[in-house]
């Protein structure tokens, strides 16, 4: 019996990476790349239009970073599997994306076979993690419950922080997120209070350090 065709969406802001992933994926007849996006906002629209089975995405993306994109994709497409394909292997990054519903994690420095192996696992709804995640870390995540943190940002606050860090003014952010300027200002003030930041420059540095945007 032949395997069903799995529909793949690729999200990365580097053309060369998207092209390389597409070329690798399309060597397998049971995978079909149905679209590519260079930023998180376009990826949401593309997912609505193409309804992929698996999304391959980077963590650092313009307009909507990989963490918040994963949250939105899982909310709107609960059956979709998400494979994080990134260079970030910090423990906090891993824990965040696991909580967002990501069940595949491969480093860009890993051998190509890991990417295909991850797709093969996710295509039958099984998790796959390359060497970046040890069994101990995975067990720790599964056994623990997320603890509330006073300084953690909401998804909307992170969206506003990312937009500010990318150089947009409040009016532009309001139009992009379909909210009022006053609401943007409220989210901005709340985020800066939680993060104990005073200036926009501090906010930009925070966004870079935490991979919300790239330097």
pLDDT in tens, 167-193: 889 999 999 889 999 999 999 999 888
76, part of any domain: yes
Do the domain assignments include residue 214? no
Are residues 77 and 136 both part of a single domain?
Answer: yes
Which CATH number characterizes residue 176's domain?
1.10.10.10
Per-residue DSSP letter, 55: E
Residues 7-34: pLDDT tens digits?
A: 999 999 999 999 999 999 999 999 999 9
101: how many CB neighbours lie within 10 A of its CB? Answer: 15
- Taking 60 as the threshold, does the pLDDT of residue 6 lie above it? yes
Q: Output the domain CATH number for residue 74.
A: 3.40.50.2300
Domain-embedded: residue 215 = no
Q: How far is CA 141 from the centre of its chain?
A: 18
In eight-state DSSP terms, residue 77 is -
Would the pLDDT of 141 be above 90?
Answer: no
Let me know whether 78 and 167 are in one domain: no
Q: Which domain holds residue 59?
A: 6-143
The reply to whether 54 and 90 lie within a common domain is: yes
| Residue 150 pLDDT greater than 50, yes or no | no
Q: What is the largest CA-CA distance in the chain?
A: 61
Q: Is the pLDDT of residue 59 over 80?
A: yes
Residue 38: pLDDT over 90 = yes
71 and 137: one domain?
yes
One domain, residues 128 and 164 = no
Query: How many domains does the structure of the chain reveal?
Result: 2
Q: What pLDDT is stored for residue 26 in this prediction?
A: 93
Q: Are 188 and 156 in contact (CB under 8 A)?
A: no
76-111 pLDDT, tens digit per residue, is 999 999 999 988 877 777 778 888 889 999 999 888
14 lies in the same domain as 94:
yes
**Final residue before a domain boundary, out of 102, 123, 143:** 143
Residues with Cβ within 8 Å of 22's Cβ and at least 6 positions away in sequence, in order, are: 10, 33, 36
163 and 88, same structural domain? no
* pLDDT tier at 136, thresholds 50, 70, 90: very low
Confidence check: pLDDT of 149 > 50: no
**91 and 138 together in one domain:** yes
Residues 37, 79: one domain?
Answer: yes
Cα separation, 211 vs 215, whole angstroms: 9
* Residue 150 counted as domain residue: no
Does 80 lie in the same domain as 49? yes
């Amino acid at each position: 019996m032949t395997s069903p065709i799995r529909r793949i969406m690729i999200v990365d802001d580097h053309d060369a990476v998207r092209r390389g992933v597409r070329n690798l994926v399309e060597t397998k007849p049971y995978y079909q790349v149905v679209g590519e996006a260079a930023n998180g906002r376009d990826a949401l629209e593309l997912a609505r239009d193409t309804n992929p089975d698996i999304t391959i995405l980077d963590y650092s993306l313009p307009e909507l970073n990989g963490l918040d994109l994963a949250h939105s994709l899982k909310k709107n497409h609960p059956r979709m599997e998400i494979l994080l394909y990134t260079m970030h292997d910090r423990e906090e990054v891993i824990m965040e994306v696991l909580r967002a519903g990501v069940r595949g994690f491969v480093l860009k420095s890993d051998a190509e076979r890991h990417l295909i192996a991850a797709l093969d696992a996710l295509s039958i709804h099984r998790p796959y993690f390359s060497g970046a995640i040890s069994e101990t870390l995975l067990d720790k995540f599964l056994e623990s419950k997320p603890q509330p943190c006073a300084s953690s940002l909401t998804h909307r606050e992170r969206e506003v922080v990312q937009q500010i860090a990318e150089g947009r003014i409040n009016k532009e952010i309001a139009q992009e997120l379909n909210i009022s300027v006053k609401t943007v200002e409220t989210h901005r003030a709340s985020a800066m209070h939680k993060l104990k930041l005073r200036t926009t420059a501090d906010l930009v540095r925070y966004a870079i350090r935490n991979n919300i945007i790239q330097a």
